[in-house]
Amino acid sequence: MLKVNAFDQQQAASLGADQRQRVERRARLLGPAYQLFYDQPLHLVQGSGATVTDHAGKRYLDLYNNVQSVGHCHPKVVAALAAQAGQLNVHTRYLHDNVLDYAERLLASMPAELGHAMFTCTGSEANDLALRIACDYTGGSGVIVTEYAYHGITQAIAALSPSMGSYVPVARDARVVPAPRHLPGSPQAVGRQFAAEVRKALADMQRHGIKPAALLVDTLFTSDGVFADPAGFLAEAVAAVRAAGAVFIADEVQPGFGRTGSHFWGFQRHGLVPDLVTLGKPMGNGHPMAGLAVKPDILQRFASQAAYFNTFGGNPVSAAVGLAVLEVIEEEGLMANAERVGALLKAGLQSLAPALGTVRGAGLFIGVDIVDASGQPDTLRARGLVNALRDEGFLIGAAGPASSVLKIRPPLCLRREEAERFLSALARLL
């Protein structure tokens, strides 16, 4: 997955002299594990709202970065960061109101059963911590994930991220299930079929003497290709997991913070209260902060035996940033904007059929299938569209096992006229 739409270093000779030197310097200093996006890498120097600007002054509409959820360099978020950074930054072994105010505000956006918040710096850390807590609570080691899931890059979590590729083996006690199917003609079958696959995985664990610990899913199944509907389809699978003595971990790193438009959290679309919720990326609008929310009874034994500390997780600067992000989402009506502009974007994409395949998603997170004449995933055409749009000044990505799903997830502040401009450009390219 990390190599989807990646720049091929062997093509460096085709770049201009300055860009080639910069790419070569990057490779020399950072090594070969890092990837760049696009056939022609971008050198970005500035951002505002849903727009970013490169070193030559060319502007791009950013329809990819859910990290800057309330918009690049939002003035309120930047001011909150600077003000607190100018006063004090320490860790959570000292008392400070910021982290308490943020935890209180964050937990208020969730069901009351999720009573505790814990903070990290990255979503990978958040999922790693959630896994530790889940395994401790259940006494199990078996985790169910979907076949092209991505949950992070720690050793334990990379082993629960099949999209990392065959070189990174899936954990021995994990079981991989197919992603939910998109069945608009038979919506009730979606949940039944997904739950049946989860039950098969549980039965296989039992057969091999593995005690189940958790079902871990991104509630929009974004890396799998974005599978959002029908709302509520996850409930049967979660009930099956809990009946087997395991817990449900909702990975909200990508679906959360109002992105679906209809709900603040992706799990709420399914009428569920997870046992643990993991958070990341949009929490800090570009500032590195992440965390989780957990039911108190699930945390109790882990807390009493292992305790928890993270030097930078929950520091006063991060908490000030997180508070500012939550305030901007509310004050600027960004959740309603995600629903309104997302509906326009989705309808516009659907109107481009049959040049585009199936359009799926919720709010400002949309996946679009790119298929060939026989209906099969068309990886090359998807990559071609992603790069052609980049040349036209529009940034999107790709997802799914064949990298054939256009991934569209702009900042929540995307305006109607910006969405229409993107649709016009895409129609022109098609």
Q: Which of 330, 336, 159, 321 is nearest to 263 (CA)?
A: 336
Give the type of residue at 406: L
- The reported pLDDT for the residue numbered 7 is 84
All domains of the chain, ordered by start, with CATH? 42-63+333-429 (3.90.1150.10), 75-330 (3.40.640.10)
Q: Which of 285, 307, 290, 266 is nearest to 154 (CA)?
A: 290
CA-CA distance, 137 to 302, in Å (whole number)?
7
Query: Tokens for 364?
Result: 């400002």
Burial class (CB in 10 A: 0-12, 13-18, 19+), 347: exposed
- The reported pLDDT for the residue numbered 198 is 98
**Residue 405, beta-bridge partner list:** 369, 399
pTM higher than the cut 0.85: yes
Give the Cβ contact number of residue 229 at 10 Å. Answer: 17
pLDDT tens-digit profile, the chain (430 residues): 777 878 887 778 788 888 899 999 999 999 988 889 998 999 999 999 999 999 999 999 999 988 999 999 999 999 999 999 999 999 999 999 999 999 999 999 999 999 999 999 999 999 999 999 999 999 999 999 999 999 999 999 999 999 999 999 999 999 999 999 999 999 999 999 999 999 999 999 999 999 999 999 999 999 999 999 999 999 999 999 999 999 999 999 999 999 999 999 999 999 999 999 999 999 999 999 999 999 999 999 999 999 899 999 999 999 999 999 999 999 999 999 999 999 999 999 999 999 999 999 999 999 999 999 999 999 999 999 999 999 999 999 999 999 999 999 999 999 999 999 999 999 999 9
- The reported pLDDT for the residue numbered 334 is 98
CA-CA distance, 324 to 80, in Å (whole number)?
7
- Non-local (6+) Cβ contacts of 304 within 8 A are none
